[in-house]
Structure formats: C-alpha cells, structure tokens
Amino acid sequence: MPDDNLSLTAKREAAVTALADVPREPGAKKPDPILVADDVKRHFGGLLAVDVDHVEVQRGSITALIGPNGAGKTTFFNLLTGFDRPNSGSWTFNGRSLHGTPPFKVARAGMVRTFQLTKALSKLTVIENMRLGATQQKGESFWRAMLPFTWRSQEDAITQRAEELLARFKLDTKRDDFAGSLSGGQRKLLEMARALMVEPELVMLDEPMAGVNPALTQSLLEHVSNLREQGMTVLFVEHDMDMVRDIADWVVVMGQGKILAEGPPETVMSDPRVVDAYLGAHHDQSLAELEEQLETGTLAEEVAAELGQEPAETVAVERTGETKDGR
Amino acid sequence: MDWGNILELSLRELIGVQAIVFALAAIGINVQFGYTGLLNFGQAAFAAVGGYGIAVIVTTYDMSFWLGLVVGIVGAIVLALLLGIPTLRLRADYLAIVTIAASEIVRLVGRSAWGRDVFGGSDGITGFSNAFYDLNPFTEPFEFGPFQFRERVLWVLVVGWVLVAVCTLVVWLLMRSPWGRVLKGIREDEDAVRSLGKNVYAYKMQSLVLGGVIGALAGMVYSLFQGAMQPDVYATNFTFFAYAILILGGAATVFGPVLGAAIVWFAFQFIDLALRGAIQQEYIPSWLMDANDTGAVRFMLTGIVLVLLLVFRPQGILGDRREIALDAR
C-alpha cells in the first residue's frame, strides 16, 4: 500500500516543515499550537518543582519532553492534566483555559494521559479495560444502567471499536484475559489503546517506554508515531535520548523545573546546556577527583564561578584540567 | 442427641430473619467495598437510620408508616452524602475512619438521655410495627414438612426475602452494565478512571448512597421483626459481622453476601445446638465447658472457620481464585 506510506511520511514531513522556522529557544512560538502554557509554577515546600515560563505544543506533531530525573516532567504533566494543582499559572488547550479543571473534564476535552507506573485495571479483562475508555456511554448513568436495552447497541459499537484497536495493538488474543495477567509491555500497550478509546486530540504519554522489554520498545515507538499518522498530537515524557531521536519532531528539555532548551532532536542533543543538565557539568570526571577537589577547595571556587559571580572560573577549570592530565 | 431437631432448627436460621438482615447489610457493603473499594465501616449507622426512620415517625410523631419508610430511606441518603462529601475526595482510609465514628455517633445520640423524647433513649422505641403487620395477608401458620412458621414470622420472611431478591437483582443488573464497570475500575485504580474522563467522585457517591440505602432496608426489616428499635443492636460489631459474611460468601460476587449470611446463621445455630446437645449427653466433660459457654465458643469456632477460609480460600465461597492471584503479582 504505497498510499499509506506516502501519507505516513507526509504527516511527519508536515510536522517538520511547520516547525522548521520556529526559533530554537525555550518558549518558542509555534505556528499552530494545540497546547499553550504560561508561567506555571508548583512548589513543594521550599522546592520549586515546576517553573515553566512559556511553552507551546504544535498540533499534529510528536513533541518529546525530556530531562533528567527530578526535572519536574511528570509534575508538569500532572499539572496540565488536572491531577495536581499549580501555585500559579495558566494554560489553554485548543484555546480553552484548563486551569483548575478536574482531570475527568480535561480528558473529556480531548487531552488524555497515560501514567509512568502503568495503570492497567488488573481485575478487569482486557476488553473491559478498553470499553471503559469510551466516553458518553449511556449505560454509565445509574438509572439507565438497569435497563440494558437502552445501552446495548452502543455497547456493541464500543466493543467493535475496542476490538479493532486491540487488533492494531496486537492484544486481540488477550481479549478475555485479566489485565493483571499481562506483561509490563503489554500493559503499556493496553493503556495506550485504552487512552485512544477516549478519542483524544492530544495524547500525553508519561514514559511510555519505561520498564518495557527492549524487544518491545521498537513496536511501542511505531505505535506512538502511528498516533500522529491518525491526526493526533503526542506529547510524551522520556529520558532515553535515543528513543526521542527516532520519533520526535520537536524536543523540549526540562531541568530543575525550567524549560532549558527547545528544538528538533538533532539540534537539542548537541546543546551543551542539555548535556550538562543530563550528565552534570562534571560528567567527565570521576568521583575520586571531585572529592580531592572538594578537599583542596577548588570545587567550591568552581561552583561559585558557575553560579556566575566570580570571574575566576577559567583559573579553576584550568587547574582541574592539570590534575586530570597528571594521572 | 436429636439430630433431626438440631438440623430443623438450624435450617430455620438458614432462611431466618437474621440471615435476611445481614444479607441486606452485606449486599450494601458489597456495592461499596466489593465493587467500588470504599471502606464503609459504618453500615450499622445506615441500618440504624433506617430503623429509626420508621420508629420515630410512627411512634414519636404518630404519622404514617409509609412516611416512615420514606424518611428512613431519605435519612440513609442524607447520611451517605454527609459522610461522602468531605471524605470521598480523599484517600480510602479517611472514609473508613469517618464512617466508623459516625456509626458510633448515631448509636450514642440514639441512646442519649438528651434525645430520649424523640429516640427513646437506651430502651429504644416500640409500638411502630402494627401498620406493617396489618398488611399481613397470611391468616394461618404455614407448614412445610417438619417446618412450621407463624403468620407474623412468615410475613417478615416473605417481605424480607423479596427485598433481598430485589436488591440482588439490582446489583446484578448494575454490575454487568457500563455503570458497574466504572465502579470496578475505580476499585482497581481511580486515577486511571479519572484519566479516561469519568467523574470518579460522583460514582463513588452513588455507590455509597446505594449501599447505604440497602443497609437502611436491613435496619427496617430487623426493627419491624423485633417490634422494637434498640440502638445497641447497631453497634460496630453489626458492621463487622456483615463484613465477615461478605468475605465468607465472596466479595464482588452477586450472590456472595446472601450465601454468606445464610451459611453463617445456619452454622451459628447448628454449632450452638450441637454443643448444648453434646454437653447434655456428657460427650463434652463439664470441666471443659458448660451450657453457658456455648455462646462464646460458637464465636470462637466461627472465627477459626473464617481464618481457615482466608488462608485456604481467600476469595470466599463464590469468588474467583484468579482475581486473588492477581494481587500477589
């Protein structure tokens, strides 16, 4: 089916072209944003976990949100989807403000998330998990639930849609198994398929590859890029750079709650700020060296320098360079 | 020992009023705990509200029996809302704490000297069941083999089992519908259900109200049968007894609570009579136990049976072993 292949590349092509002229800087404006967040802050006690000035997500693209552990990615996700409340800030989805909206309304608006720790509903069968995802079910109202003839035909339609999705995610053989009996990777697939039952415009995947057998990651990646082919926008959290490079059209890097950098995967990954955030500014030194420096006091100088007050920075760096060569 | 007599008396309990009352209470808990995962430790309060609804309206205020029924049910709904509104947004444990406290509050207010004029104090209220027995269509005792039921008991049993059947039917219908699917989803992981666009809070509230109303029916049946509404019947052990019955029968199964209630009351009576018989015949030496101890010993034996059940069949009699196995993963 050459047509399929053509449209497959066309969608990616379209997303990349649309983003081509976007400046590679934090908070860059996108031509057609589906999600816009402004000045979102979340404190946990004294810790400022999320401090995002401005970020936009381009419609029809796959945007990766990356960053080291503790960068605030998941917290930011929770804020956007209503699972956590920010101390300040505002954001709009499709031009509609979602600030203070409870999670279920966020999902109904067309913004559906998955979770880092997969939430397959263990004691429901796979097909029941899927059916649960469908929205606007008549049989979900208390009084109508007792009158099966009022919801039977809708249930059949939902089941058919669920079976199609299961087939696409290769879970159709597990249809009547308990979700709790699935493997970790299968649960991820189920959760993604279930999210699609909501018919979202924006799919937010929190670490879709975490804890998945490497043999399965490739197929998971394909499923993620397929979402774009079906006209959905994807925002996903990941900390494995290689995964991101393969499928993302745009990458947003978070570190210590802030947006550090933005851009297409190739550009972002060579950005020194990103490398520092990921590996630490001292990533090419061993702990023993750092300890030695700490004892001699040079590290303190260096830290002070990095914080941007002392011009003595170059000296400190040179000196550490010497010790390194000496070994 | 007259085994025939023991069996006959025990079988009467199998379908007796106690079994009906605790079947209803356990059906309510099954909706809340079994299907939705809500830890309502205050089922006794809902039963007490149901009983007080009729008793207070009919005896204290001298109004219609039917109004009493309505007040009892509305009272249970109001209690569910009162308990649910502050706690259902929080973690499951908060509901457990609040409901167990509320059930004691209801009982203590009911038996307080302060409310004696309305609730009758610790003696409770009597004289409200005439309207119910006036409706009794049975004019003579019913005989079935060795069993004989007086017309009053027969009337309570018929009404009670019809109620149990209706409640079971409602639960069966609901739990195979999309509504029930949402509840089961909430039991497994409420955040996942939220992320799929369901108003979890509203569903939990509906579950709490439904279970509470069924609990109120239990209280109504019991106080009408007794002809008296006594607050101390509805102490916390009422709730825990209903939980034990539910777990025995199988939580999250449609017939589990009914089966559990029937078996427990049958076993209670059977153990009690068998022990008494054995003591009388001196099969059990008197230094070990006498007839006065049977009440305590039957609780001990029931406890042992429950422990064994949880070890060897944690899913209950009707439960699905595979579901329990998933928890171990």
Residue A35: beta bridge partners?
A57, A93
The predicted structure's pLDDT at residue A299: 63
Half-sphere exposure of B180 (CA within 13 A, CB side): 20
Are B9 and B248 spatial neighbours (Cβ–Cβ below 8 Å)? no
User: Which residue of A lies nearest to B328 if distances are taken between CA atoms?
Assistant: A180
User: Using the beta-carbon criterion (under 8 Å), do B326 and A119 form an inter-chain contact?
Assistant: no
User: Which helix (H) or strand (E) segment is B269 a member of?
Assistant: helix B256-280
User: Using the beta-carbon criterion (under 8 Å), do A195 and B326 form an inter-chain contact?
Assistant: no
User: What confidence category does residue B178 fall into, taking pLDDT thresholds of 50, 70 and 90?
Assistant: very high
> What backbone torsions phi and psi does residue B285 show, to the nearest 5 degrees?
-65, 150
One DSSP character per residue, B114-155 reads TTHHHH-GGG-EES--HHHHHT----S-EEETTEEE-HHHHH
The predicted structure's pLDDT at residue A300: 66
User: Which residue of B lies nearest to A204 if distances are taken between CA atoms?
Assistant: B195
| Highest-pLDDT range among A18-22, B258-262, B322-326 | B258-262
Q: What SS3 state is found at A239? A: coil
- A98, A105, A122: best to mutate for the B interface, most B CBs within 10 A: A122
Cβ-proximal residues to B7 (8 Å cutoff; 6+ apart), any chain: B270
Is the minimum CB–CB distance between A148 and chain B shorter than 8 Å? Answer: yes
Distance, CA of B164 to chain centre: 11
Are B182 and B12 spatial neighbours (Cβ–Cβ below 8 Å)? no
Does position B200 have pLDDT exceeding 70, yes or no? yes
Residue B237: CB atoms within 10 Å: 11
Nearest-angstrom CA–CA distance, A104 and A287: 47
Distance (Å) from the C-alpha of residue B73 to the closest C-alpha of chain A? Answer: 17
Per CB-CB distance under 8 Å, the chain B contacts of A124 are 181, 184-185, 188
CA angle A218–A227–A229, rounded 5-degree value: 105
Query: What is the percent of chain A where pLDDT is above 70?
Result: 83
Cβ-proximal residues to A230 (8 Å cutoff; 6+ apart), any chain: none
Tokens found for residue B209: 């109200």
**Which of A113, A132, A135 faces B181 most closely, judged by CB atoms?**
A132
pLDDT in tens, A219-238: 888 899 889 989 999 999 98
The predicted structure's pLDDT at residue A303: 64
Distance, CA of B290 to chain centre: 31
User: Using the beta-carbon criterion (under 8 Å), do B191 and A81 form an inter-chain contact?
Assistant: no
Is the minimum CB–CB distance between A159 and chain B shorter than 8 Å? Answer: no
In B238-291, the DSSP E strands lie at none
**Which of A112, A137, A197 faces B178 most closely, judged by CB atoms?**
A137
The predicted structure's pLDDT at residue A160: 96
User: Which residue of A lies nearest to B196 if distances are taken between CA atoms?
Assistant: A133
Domain assignments of chain A as residue spans, ordered by start: 2-120+182-278, 287-326
Lowest-pLDDT range of A154-168, A205-219, B149-163, B186-200:
A205-219
Distance, CA of B238 to chain centre: 7
Q: Which of A40, A221, A207 is nearest to A113 (CA)?
A: A207
Nearest-angstrom CA–CA distance, B91 and A174: 32
Is the minimum CB–CB distance between A196 and chain B shorter than 8 Å? Answer: no
What is the pairing mode between strands A202-206 and A233-238?
A: parallel
Does position A314 have pLDDT exceeding 50, yes or no? no
User: Using the beta-carbon criterion (under 8 Å), do B174 and A181 form an inter-chain contact?
Assistant: no
Nearest-angstrom CA–CA distance, A297 and A279: 23
Nearest-angstrom CA–CA distance, A251 and A313: 31
Query: What is the percent of chain B where pLDDT is above 70?
Result: 99
Nearest-angstrom CA–CA distance, A212 and A192: 13
pLDDT in tens, B227-277: 999 999 999 999 999 999 999 999 999 999 999 999 999 988 998 899 888
User: Using the beta-carbon criterion (under 8 Å), do B181 and A194 form an inter-chain contact?
Assistant: no
pLDDT in tens, B14-63: 999 999 999 999 999 999 999 999 999 999 999 999 999 999 999 999 99
Tell me which CATH homologous superfamily contains domain A2-120+182-278.
P-loop containing nucleotide triphosphate hydrolases (3.40.50.300)
Which 8-state DSSP code applies to residue A95? T
Sign of the four-CA dihedral B10, B13, B19, B20: positive
Are B51 and B234 spatial neighbours (Cβ–Cβ below 8 Å)? yes
User: Which residue of B lies nearest to A155 if distances are taken between CA atoms?
Assistant: B178
pLDDT in tens, A105-162: 999 999 999 998 888 899 999 999 999 999 999 999 999 999 999 999 999 999 999 9
Nearest-angstrom CA–CA distance, A193 and B290: 65
The predicted structure's pLDDT at residue A318: 42
Are B102 and B42 spatial neighbours (Cβ–Cβ below 8 Å)? yes
The predicted structure's pLDDT at residue A1: 39
Distance, CA of A40 to chain centre: 17
Is the minimum CB–CB distance between A22 and chain B shorter than 8 Å? Answer: no
Per CB-CB distance under 8 Å, the chain B contacts of A180 are 326, 329
Distance, CA of A100 to chain centre: 21
Per CB-CB distance under 8 Å, the chain A contacts of B177 are 139, 145-146, 148, 151
Nearest-angstrom CA–CA distance, B281 and A75: 72
Q: Does residue B325 or residue B259 have the better pLDDT?
A: B259
User: Using the beta-carbon criterion (under 8 Å), do A108 and B197 form an inter-chain contact?
Assistant: yes
Nearest-angstrom CA–CA distance, B103 and B45: 4
pLDDT in tens, B99-110: 999 999 999 999
| Alpha-helical segments (H) within chain B | 3-14, 17-29, 43-55, 65-87, 92-111, 116-119, 130-134, 151-175, 178-188, 190-195, 200-226, 236-249, 256-280, 294-312, 321-327
In A168-187, the residues whose Cβ lies within 8 Å of chain B are 178, 180-181
Nearest-angstrom CA–CA distance, B245 and B5: 25
| Alpha-helical segments (H) within chain A | 2-20, 73-80, 103-109, 126-133, 142-145, 152-168, 184-197, 214-229, 241-247, 265-269, 272-279, 287-296, 298-306, 313-326
Per CB-CB distance under 8 Å, the chain B contacts of A135 are 196-197
Q: What SS3 state is found at B148? A: strand
Q: Which of A182, A128, A193, A156 is nearest to B184 (CA)?
A: A128
Does position A283 have pLDDT exceeding 80, yes or no? no
Supply the ipTM of this predicted assembly.
0.87
Distance (Å) from the C-alpha of residue A229 to the closest C-alpha of chain B? Answer: 22
The torsion region of residue A246 among left (phi > 0), alpha (psi -120 to 50) and beta comes to alpha
Residues in chain A: 327
Nearest-angstrom CA–CA distance, A75 and A256: 11
Does position B76 have pLDDT exceeding 50, yes or no? yes
User: Using the beta-carbon criterion (under 8 Å), do A131 and B179 form an inter-chain contact?
Assistant: no
Q: Which of A241, A298, A294 is nearest to A266 (CA)?
A: A241
Q: What SS3 state is found at A56? A: strand
Are A208 and A220 spatial neighbours (Cβ–Cβ below 8 Å)? yes
CATH 3.30.200 correct for B3-327: no
Half-sphere exposure of A211 (CA within 13 A, CB side): 13
Span A258-265, average pLDDT: 90
Half-sphere exposure of B74 (CA within 13 A, CB side): 9
User: Using the beta-carbon criterion (under 8 Å), do B188 and A151 form an inter-chain contact?
Assistant: no
User: Which helix (H) or strand (E) segment is A88 a member of?
Assistant: strand A88-93
Per CB-CB distance under 8 Å, the chain A contacts of B322 are 178, 181
Per CB-CB distance under 8 Å, the chain B contacts of A178 are 322-323, 326
The predicted structure's pLDDT at residue A3: 44
User: Using the beta-carbon criterion (under 8 Å), do B188 and A122 form an inter-chain contact?
Assistant: yes
Distance (Å) from the C-alpha of residue B191 to the closest C-alpha of chain A? Answer: 8
Q: Which of A196, A254, A188, A194 is nearest to A221 (CA)?
A: A188
User: Which residue of B lies nearest to A200 if distances are taken between CA atoms?
Assistant: B196
Nearest-angstrom CA–CA distance, B91 and A187: 25
Nearest-angstrom CA–CA distance, B74 and B249: 29
User: Using the beta-carbon criterion (under 8 Å), do A132 and B179 form an inter-chain contact?
Assistant: no
User: Using the beta-carbon criterion (under 8 Å), do B323 and A178 form an inter-chain contact?
Assistant: yes
User: Using the beta-carbon criterion (under 8 Å), do A146 and B173 form an inter-chain contact?
Assistant: yes
Tokens found for residue B324: 């329990």
User: Which residue of A lies nearest to B207 if distances are taken between CA atoms?
Assistant: A142
pLDDT in tens, B104-163: 999 999 999 988 989 988 889 999 999 999 999 988 888 887 788 888 999 999 999 999
Are A94 and A81 spatial neighbours (Cβ–Cβ below 8 Å)? no
User: Using the beta-carbon criterion (under 8 Å), do A104 and B194 form an inter-chain contact?
Assistant: yes
Per CB-CB distance under 8 Å, the chain B contacts of A83 are 191, 194-195
Lowest-pLDDT range of A288-292, B186-190, B221-225, B273-277:
A288-292
Lowest-pLDDT range of A302-311, B65-74, B242-251:
A302-311
User: Which helix (H) or strand (E) segment is B25 a member of?
Assistant: helix B17-29
Tokens found for residue A301: 């100088």
Are A129 and B158 spatial neighbours (Cβ–Cβ below 8 Å)? no
The predicted structure's pLDDT at residue A69: 82
User: Using the beta-carbon criterion (under 8 Å), do A195 and B189 form an inter-chain contact?
Assistant: no
Give the orientation angle of helix B65-87 with respect to helix B200-226, to 10 degrees. Answer: 140
